Amino acid sequence: MEQTEEIKIETKEDKAIFGSFYLMESEFALSVSYVQEVVNAPISYTSVPLSPNYLKGLFNLRGTVVPVIDLKELLGLKNSQASESQKIAIIELHGTCVGLLFDKTGEVFKNNEDERSDFDTTNSNNVVSGVFKKDAGRRIVQILDVSKLFKLQNIPKDSSQNRLGRESLGKKRGNRRQCISFVVGPAKCSLPISDIQEIIKVEKVSESALGFGDCIGTIDLRGSTVPVIDFPALLNYRDVDRTESATQGDRRIVVMRLDKELFGLMVDSIDSIITFFPDELIAFPVIEQKRSDMFLGCITRQGEAEILLLDHQKILTNSEVNDITRGHSKLYQASEHTKEKVKSKGGSRRTYITFKIDGTYAVSINEVKEIIEYPKNLLQPPGLESHVKGVLNLRGELVTIVDARSMYLNSLKGAANEQQKVLVFKRNQLHFGLVVDSVESIVTFAENDKIRLPEMLYSQGDKSMTADISEAIEVLDSNGQKKSMLILSVDSLVNRATKTLAA
């Protein structure tokens, strides 16, 4: 298939996303707007007489002859034995293509000005224009100046006739599109670059109260808490992986935005940057299942396996988004009113989960190991109290399920509903699950916003729920109205349940 291109004007938004790659242990990055695609390095190159040592040679990419720059030679890095996984990034500027040879792919991330430092550009020979200081300065990513790469001496250029031919054909075929492909189980999937916030490698995913279903926990992305979905598990390729090794190896997290919320898809590995034209996209066969509308089609490449193009807005169903982010603008993110309040009063910030047991209560999110659906099957040891619903085997841990309504209110009326959830706590190597009517939201506020309850509210009897309440917080609801919310002491709750079980 003939390689075709069109010239486009670079915009500020185009340069906002960078892709990184490695040369041995050194990491470099360039704007993905210049990257046409990433391909495997050929077995051999056509040698160019009288060429500089950094020109690896020429190779034929589907009818287009591409000169390849050996970045290790160009940058004076000590050359080592070539990696078997070497790849070539095909970059394009004003209709001319050049290949950059590198060892392995890195990440995709947004241009964060707070992390970026630009160098003095007066030296026209320096192809490194600056650095990104990632991970609080512990990781340095060098920025390549694409325009200077094209000004290197003795790099073969396309003839104007060839460029005009490609531009003309490009206009006939429509605008060129870019996506990033990744491996999910046995399949290769892709998302348009415009739909991806960034792609990152993390050491671990934090345990979270939102870790249920295919959501395995959260990561912190520069102050934003992002729930992470095990994508191969979501597609039924494997069981959900919540082990410590879930993020090891080549696995990456693809961060996307649904409306105002960020989500992360954990994939097995990042494959390539793909450039395609609309006529290379073929319709995906209709299948009768709830996720069939996520597939926009298949990208076909001559001699290569098809790549599934996804609609990021359809990957999760509305009910899944609702479950994971029930009020997720409230979940881990303060409302604008709350942010103003925190700013004015100051103090360290804490995050609480709110839930209902008739009234609205809250517990610190650090106290909650996870939130699960009400289990269908429970072990029923003999002699259980009426408020102990049974024992659940939760991935090898035995959890005693305690019904809050029965323990505190001596009432089961209205308890069974689709929104019923179980908050799982751990104390002294024991796990307890508190059945609540519903989980409402997660709110963040300053410690100075907490209001201590009068002493008289703690003396209404040992069985009253107020006996396990120690504080109240004043927050603003969605209408900007002040309301008080009672904070439940998990230690007191567990002590109550433990005494009852021992009685």
- For residue 156, pLDDT beyond 60: yes
Q: Are residues 107 and 148 in the same domain?
A: yes
- The answer to whether residue 6 sits within a structural domain is no
CATH number for 480: 2.40.50.180
130-166 burial, b for 16+ CB within 10 Å, e for fewer? bbbebeeeeeebbbbbbebbbebeebeebeeeebeeb
Determine, yes or no, domain membership for 304. Answer: yes
Residue 286 lies in a domain: yes
- Can you read off the two tokens belonging to residue 477? 């609801």
Q: What is the mean pLDDT of residues 25-38?
A: 88
Could you tell me if 471 and 446 lie in one domain? Answer: yes
For residue 166, what pLDDT is reported? 47
**Rounded Cα–Cα distance for residues 462 and 467 (Å):** 6
Report pLDDT for 101: 92
Residue 254: its pLDDT value, please? 92
Quick: pLDDT tens for 195-239: 888 888 888 888 766 556 788 888 888 777 888 999 999 888 888
In this prediction, residue 170 carries a pLDDT of 45
Q: Mind listing the pLDDT tens digit for each residue in 453-479? A: 565 554 454 455 667 777 777 665 545
Indicate if the pLDDT at residue 299 is higher than 70: yes
Weakest-pLDDT range from 38-47, 263-272, 331-340: 331-340
In a domain, 5, yes or no: no
Mean pLDDT within 154-177: 54
Residue 280, pLDDT > 50, answer yes
User: What pLDDT is recorded for position 230?
Assistant: 92
- Has residue 271 been placed in a domain? yes
Burial of 172: CB neighbours in 10 Å, binned 0-12, 13-18, 19+: exposed
Concatenating the DSSP letter of every residue in 342-386 gives HHHH-S-EEEEEEEEESEEEEEEGGG--EEEEPPS--B--TT--T
Per residue in 50-103, pLDDT (tens digit) is 778 888 888 888 777 888 988 888 888 766 555 667 889 998 887 788 899 998
Query: What range does the domain containing 390 cover?
Result: 336-502
Please report whether residue 9 resides in a domain.
no
What are the pLDDT digits (tens) for 253-273?
A: 999 988 778 899 999 988 877
* Residue 341, pLDDT score: 39
Alpha-carbon distance of 435 to 390, in angstroms, equals: 11
Q: Which pTM value belongs to this model?
A: 0.55
Low-confidence winner among 48-57, 119-128, 210-219, 478-487 (lowest mean pLDDT): 478-487
pLDDT, tens only, 420-445: 888 888 887 888 888 888 877 666 66
- Of 100-109, 115-124, 289-298, give the range with the top mean pLDDT: 100-109
Q: What percent of the chain has pLDDT over 70?
A: 70
Q: What is the pLDDT of residue 329?
A: 41
- Burial classification of residue 356, based on how many CB atoms lie within 10 Å of its CB (0-12 exposed, 13-18 middle, 19 or more buried): middle
Which residue is it, tokens 């890095």? Answer: 77
- The last residue of a domain, from among 174, 197, 217: 174
Answer yes or no: do 341 and 278 share one domain: no
Residues 253 and 347 in one domain: no
CA–CA dist 360, 436 (Å, integer): 10
Q: Looking at the structure, do residues 420 and 469 belong to the same domain, yes or no?
A: yes
| Residue 388 domain flag | yes
73 versus 481: the higher-pLDDT residue is 73
pLDDT value of residue 451: 64
Shared domain for 416 and 482, answered yes or no, is yes
Where does residue 244 rank: exposed (0-12), middle (13-18), buried (19+ CB within 10 A)?
Answer: exposed
- Is residue 153 located within the same domain as residue 200? no
The reply to whether 282 and 358 lie within a common domain is no
Q: What integer pLDDT is reported at residue 447 of this predicted model?
A: 65
Number of domains in the chain: 3
109, 17 Cβ separation under 8 angstroms: yes
Q: How far apart are the first and last CA of the chain?
A: 78
What pLDDT score does 414 carry? 45
Domain shared by 257 and 165, yes or no: no
Q: What is the DSSP letter of 265?
A: E
pLDDT of residue 209: 61
8 Å CB contact between 34 and 18: no
* Residue 237 covered by a domain: yes
Say if residue 342's pLDDT is above 70.
no
pLDDT at 437: 85
- If asked whether residues 138 and 205 sit together in one domain, one would say no
168 and 310 both lie in a single domain: no
Is 295 in the same domain as 224?
yes
**Cα 187 vs. chain centroid, distance in angstroms?**
19
Mean pLDDT over each residue of the chain, to the nearest integer: 75
Q: How many CB atoms lie within 10 A of CB 239?
A: 9
